[in-house]
Amino acid sequence: MLAANPAQAFAQSEQFVRASQSVEIAAHVSEASQQFGIPEHWIYAVIRAESAGRVRAVSRAGAMGLMQLMPGTWSRQRARFSLGQDPFDPRDNVLAGTSYLREMYDRYGAQGFLAAYNAGPGRYEDWLAGRRSLPHETRRYVARIAPLLQSERMFAAAPLQARNVPAGALQPPGAARKELDEVAMPGPAANPFARPEQAAHDLFAPVSTASSQ
């Protein structure tokens, strides 16, 4: 039903645009989830934390779009998966971001992939080795997003074979593909900032250790 006055018509059009954008993003999230084996609510959690759903978001560091990809990351994922030229295109940004999230999960596991996604794998590995601390932004990011991933028990699947997905592109060299593997995220009392004492990539430790980092 059309609105009787211009103000109501404008409000209705805004609601329609927002609804259309939501549906569009939902379709892209579903596609990315199926293609890369990442649960949909993980993708939504990253989008919420990274850009608050703003398609044209740009960070002070230059990260772009819904999933806040740095230019180098975008260029690499774009070439790898034959995406378009616009990093702000919702579909391409979600596909590129989800593929990168999957890479970080395969490389660092359930306990490290969020920090690696946000800070970059080089910075995360420096932190694991004790060479540098994690950025405060990354600490806040993990603390904010981890509870969103704890809402249910989640399943991490190996990436699905699909067109434009090079075989093994999302696995470390020599890594074998795994079947569906149930992953239990850490509980709310866990601290995401304690450095592991050994080589295990574990980003979570008791809360009591937080002040020492």
Q: In 9-88, which ranges are E strands? A: none
Cβ atoms of residues 83 and 96 within 8 Å: yes
Axis-axis angle for helices 40-51, 6-36 (nearest 10): 130
Q: Rg for the chain (alpha carbons), in Å?
A: 19
Residues contacting 11, CB < 8 A, separation 6+: 3
Q: Decide: helix, strand or coil at residue 123.
A: helix
How many Å apart are CA 190 and CA 110, to the nearest integer? 14
50 is catalytic: yes
How many Å apart are CA 61 and CA 57, to the nearest integer? 12
Catalytic residue (choose from 14, 24, 40, 50) = 50
Phi, psi of 181 (to 5 degrees): -130, 120
Residues contacting 2, CB < 8 A, separation 6+: 9, 12
Active site residues: 50
